[in-house]
Amino acid sequence: MTTIYTEKDADRSALSGTIAVVGYGSQGRSHARNLRDSGFDVVVGARAGGGAERRARSDGFRVVSPAEAAKEASLVALLTPDMAHREVYAKDIAPNLQPGDALLVAHGFSVHYGEIVPRRDIDVVLVAPKGPGDLVRREFEIGRGVPCLFAVQQDASGSARAKALAYASGIGGTLAGAIETTFPEETETDLFGEQAVLCGGVSELVNSGFEVLVEAGYKPEVAYFECLHELKLIVDLLYEGGIAKMHQFISETAKYGDFVSGPRVINAETRERMREVLKDIRTGKFAFDWIAENEAGKKNYDAMLAADLDLPIEKTGARLRQHMAWLQTKPESEAA
């Protein structure tokens, strides 16, 4: 059985000195504030004049350049977007770390696929909260936490694992439980979940259901409610208590339809397509395609994004959501 590590397993003294947070987006902002509130000395590394610098200063942090932050820190949390890691690490971080210092990421993509080739004399660790930054902060503020994964890729100091657990504790992860993994496992499962289920799979399923109903003559607004709006109700039940809680709170008719029709839509062929997705991830094909797309200016990416945003379900939803007052309040991470 997999061990779940909690507060008693974390020694915060293993993480001494300054922590530099480079990248002040959703995760970076939450990590920095949680670490500071946990008693760690935190400096934010950000480009002068940018939005990250303004937000960090507004939050009361000392802000210096990424290179200066790396120079004074014993651990650098690199929390910029994946595609920025190579440049930031090579230009700002690698030249300024001392032997025995640590590089931390929240997702293993850049290390696993060779965008970053860390110096052999530093620790390389991963701490990945299983939730968005806004949730990481909110749960911490009320004395709880978001579960996280942690891993060690390189242990130059002999204490890399202890540093990772201390960092997980500092952001609240060990309050909810931390699970040890590896860089390949975290990276590959995260990409697979996003592509086959959470983002790609769900959005395609929702849009396909919407299109089938509209093609059959049903109102787009009714199709939107049935295929997208009510998805939150089911996801919340699954999130809170798994499939068992979903079955507890849906009707017998819904359950019977689940049993007889679910396997007609998600079947052996679907699972084979999922295996193909996983193969592309494990061989690096997806990663190298994505890296090449970025280097080429993201023209295909931009075209696909524009097509997604132009779908009829998006236009229908935008009109309906104007009447849902409870959706007009932005989360803290967006409002800041």
Residues belonging to the binding site for NADP(+) are 24-27, 47, 133
| Residue 292, H or E segment | helix 285-295
Which residues belong to the annotated binding site for substrate? 251
Catalytic residue among 107, 229, 247, 323: 107
Sign of CA dihedral 93, 95, 97, 99: positive
Distance CA 262, CA 115 (A): 40
Sign of CA dihedral 279, 283, 285, 290: positive
Q: What pairs with residue 18 in β-bridges?
A: 41, 73
Rounded to the nearest 10°, the torsion over CA 229, 235, 240, 241 is 130
Task: Tell me if residue 107 is catalytic.
Answer: yes
Q: Which of 109, 122, 106 is nearest to 31 (CA)?
A: 106
Q: Which of 164, 172, 141, 178 is nearest to 333 (CA)?
A: 141
Sign of CA dihedral 141, 145, 148, 154: positive
Region of residue 18 (phi > 0: left; psi between -120 and 50: alpha; otherwise: beta): beta
Distances (CA, A) of 255 to 229, 245, 250, 251, 252: 19, 12, 7, 6, 5
Distances (CA, A) of 138 to 13, 144, 217: 25, 9, 43
Q: Rounded to the nearest 10 degrees, what angle do helices 299-309 and 285-295 cross at? A: 100
Class of residue 282 by CB neighbours under 10 A (exposed 0-12, middle 13-18, buried 19+): middle
Find the distance separating the first CA and the last CA of the chain, reported in whole Å: 41
Distance CA 244, CA 242 (A): 5
What residues act catalytically? Answer: 107
